[in-house]
Structure 1
Amino acid sequence: MTPDPAVIADRAAPTVVTPVMPTSPRRPSWIALRAEPASVAKGRRFARDVVGGYTLDDDYLYLVRLLVSELLTNAVNAARAMRDWPYDSWPVRLDVAATNRWVYVAATDPDHRPLPAAAVGGLEAENGRGLHIIDGAATARWPIYREHGKTIHVVVAAPGVTLTADELRRIGVPT
């Protein structure tokens, strides 16, 4: 039997671990959420866990979590505006996929109506700033409307990365 190379003379040899940042997602991850404000924090934690394995940049991770907050706040508000949901209903969905070059986030809610026009009022407005924040930080944002809901998709390039048209097409960004 070959001895374990990490054990030499009954002592553990020091091991150097270098993080490996994959260039493609292993699999997209998703979570179903209730239509309640606490779901926004749960979604942020979920996104942090998914994206944290692909980046060591705290500012980038903060940005992704901010965009998830904005998307989920809109989705939860849209679901709640439709009706009261029973406690065991999970009408909001968050999808997250990450690589070392980009993060893809999508929030789905049961409201099929188009997004409202951007609110006027600038940074001091009470509502309507979320999409401005997303558009200012994201590489791409697009909605898909269906009979029973809508999904808002967002792609954020990693710091220092410019995504090619081919990469955006493979992610699913409409041309």
Structure 2
Amino acid sequence: MSQTPHPRDRLTLADTPNAVGLARLHTADVLSRWGVHSDTIETVQLLVSELATNAVRHPKEDEGHASLFSTWGRAQTFEFMLEIIGDVVRVSVWDRDARPPVLKEVGVEATGGRGIFIVAALSRRWGHHPARGTAGKVVWAEVGLVPTRQVSEDERPSHPPRRSSASTLGATRAAEPDTNVIGRVLVGIRNA
């Protein structure tokens, strides 16, 4: 008896400003073809946006803090992969920066720094690991195939998610989300 491989899609993009939008469009197209629920697609698109933005914005180890204009002619690539594994959609983003993502709490007036917080708040599990066979790291997050509001009460976890230490390379559970911050971020994204 052979086991059917789970659906998987991989895309490599240049780390240019339009890459995030292209990654979101690609995500919607692929997950729609796979028959994923539209609410789940929206959540995965948001995760892809945050992870791809980190891959595009943050400097690479060998570039320090160079400006966007000085690196314009030297665009590099990042890669993201979508998979269905069991009852979850997993998005994984590889970039050349080996530094681990930092889950931090930022004030309501901050203009950035919420990316990993959003990933942690919206995913069932997330984590990172060093890239295999190349420089950099892979940051991944999982979202249930069934949208949260469609999960019955007896299927939901009985304990709130907790934050693990920053040094953990494996799965990380999300902190209790601040719904006001998430709401403001979502409104900002929709208005962008």
List per-residue Cα deviations over 1:47-76 (Å, max 9, x = no partner). Answer: 112211233532221111111000100111
Contact 2:130/2:136 (8 A) holds in 1: yes
CA distance in 2, matches of 1:92, 1:74: 10
| Bigger Rg, structure 1 or 2 | 1
2:143 to 156, 161, 165: 156
1:132 maps onto 2:117 in alignment? yes
In the alignment, what sits opposite 2:98? 112
In the alignment, what sits opposite 1:25? 6
Q: Which structure 2 residue ranges, 5 or more long, are not aligned?
A: 157-169, 173-192
Secondary structure (helix, strand or coil) at the match of 1:52 reads helix
Q: Which runs of 4+ in 1 moved over 6 A?
A: none
1:143 maps onto 2:143 in alignment? no
In the alignment, what sits opposite 1:102? 88
In the alignment, what sits opposite 1:51? 31
In the alignment, what sits opposite 1:68? 48
Aligned length: 142
CA distance in 1, matches of 2:18, 2:113: 20
Aligned residues: CA RMSD: 3.0
Distance 1:48 1:134, change over 3 A: same
Q: TM-score, normalised by structure 2?
A: 0.62
Q: TM-score, normalised by structure 1?
A: 0.68
- Structure 1 position 143, deviation (Å): 0.7
- Structure 1 position 142, deviation (Å): 0.6
CA distance in 2, matches of 1:142, 1:72: 15
Contact 1:72/1:107 (8 A) holds in 2: yes
More helix by share: 2
